[in-house]
Amino acid sequence: MRMMLMVEIDTSTSNRIIEEHKMDEVMGGILGPLKPEAAYFYSRNGRRAFTLIVDMPDSSHLPSFAEPFWLQLNAHVEAFPCMNLDELQLGLSRLG
């Protein structure tokens, strides 16, 4: 199941990680296992933020996908099922 994860990182937590020169290590450790299909980084609500598109086998994987962001980055995480154009067209074709 394709999921969009929208993540806002706590500013004081990310400032500390950046000052310690560990942001590459932390982000690589979190993103590596998720193998995102796409990753976009930006500012949102005055915080560092990013959106990931990941393949989640089923909803029971949500805790293991979100917990590293909460534990290591004190982040706000939102998850949304999403689809690409081909999947949308397939879904619409099933309407009958």
pLDDT at 35: 96
Query: pTM of the predicted model, to two decimals?
Result: 0.89
Number of domains within the chain: 1
C-beta neighbour count of 58 within 10 angstroms:
7
Asked whether residue 16 carries a pLDDT value surpassing 90, the answer given is yes
Tokens 């969009």 locate to: 4
| Whole-angstrom distance, CA of residue 6 vs CA of residue 29 | 18
Q: What is the mean pLDDT of residues 39-61?
A: 95
Asked whether residue 44 carries a pLDDT value surpassing 90, the answer given is yes
Asked whether residue 96 carries a pLDDT value surpassing 80, the answer given is no
Q: What is the domain-level CATH number for residue 65?
A: 3.30.70.260
Q: Domain range spanning residue 35? A: 2-93
